[in-house]
Amino acid sequence: MTFDLHGRTRRLELTDQDLRSFEAVVLEATPDGIVLDRSAFYPGGGGQPPDHGVLLWQGVETRIEGVRKGDDLYLIPAADDPIPPAGTVVRAAVADERRSALMRTHSGLHVLCGVVFRDYGALVTGGNMEPMTARMDFNLPEVPPGFKEAVEEACNAEIAADRRIDVRVLPRAEAFAIPDIIRTATNLVPEGIPEVRIVDIVGLDTQADGGTHVASTKQIGRIKVAKIESKGRGFRRLRIAIAD
């Protein structure tokens, strides 16, 4: 098993986050899902929702509205769209506006995560995102005065510094030797995966992560900390918005 293989599908987006169109062969197809031999559709995970897009084949179009993760990756076709039979060569396109917005949002969350860990020592307990908005939960018993403004300012300083965001793949033992690599409060990297994909905002935040990211922090835009909510004893939820 390698980090970029899910069932029979080679996941192209894990090594090329800018890829938006590709050719593939249909291995299996039903109205419940289409399995390709290779795909750049992000299937969802780590709080980042799945990509949308289209498959083009023999003069017709199949709209893709999501991805389901099972033994294979199943691209979910729009209801009543034609389904390409097994063996068909398709040209696929990932919807760029949604994916690019999600990349900015996901990288923005890692900046937030890096700042809150560095300045307050708080671990992440959960998170979720939509294009340009997100929430992240932290294990943070005390909220000091001016916290919201200070976090927002620190995040935007890291964006202005235009830090590189590198992706690399390391053997499991080597990855786990990096201090603080598992930034979430629980270890989410499944057992038995021999390689770990690392997303490194150089100088700020290094995490094991399977998501798609922009190449440097300036591409995020601006982070606004919209709201801080108390989620029971010691837990805080930060809601952010990404702007140009």
Q: 12 or 111, CB closer to Zn ion?
A: 111
Q: Which of 43, 84, 114, 211 binds Zn ion (CB under 5 A)?
A: 211
Q: 39 or 107, CB closer to Zn ion?
A: 107
Which residues have C-beta within 8 Å of that of residue 59, sequence separation ≥ 6? none
Q: Which of 35, 11, 39 is nearest to 23 (CA)?
A: 39
Q: Residue type for 82, please?
A: P
Secondary structure (3-state) at 211 = coil
Long-range contacts, 229-232 (Cβ 8 Å, 24+): 231/137
To the nearest whole angstrom, how small is the minimum distance from the Cβ of residue 233 to Zn ion?
26
Q: 46 or 49, CB closer to Zn ion?
A: 46
Report yes or no: 72 and 66 within 8 Å, Cβ to Cβ: no
Residue 209 binds Zn ion, judged by CB under 5 A: yes
Backbone angles phi, psi at 101, to 5 degrees: -65, -40
Q: For the packed helices 147-160 and 96-120, what is the interaxial angle rounded to 10 degrees?
A: 120
The residue at minimum Cβ distance from Zn ion is: 209
Q: Count the site residues for Zn ion by CB under 5 A.
A: 3
**Site mask for Zn ion (CB under 5 A), range 159-198, x = bound:** ----------------------------------------
- Within 40-69, the residues that bind Zn ion by CB under 5 A are 46
To the nearest whole angstrom, how small is the minimum distance from the Cβ of residue 211 to Zn ion?
4
To the nearest whole angstrom, how small is the minimum distance from the Cβ of residue 121 to Zn ion?
19
Q: Which residues bind Zn ion (CB under 5 A)?
A: 46, 209, 211
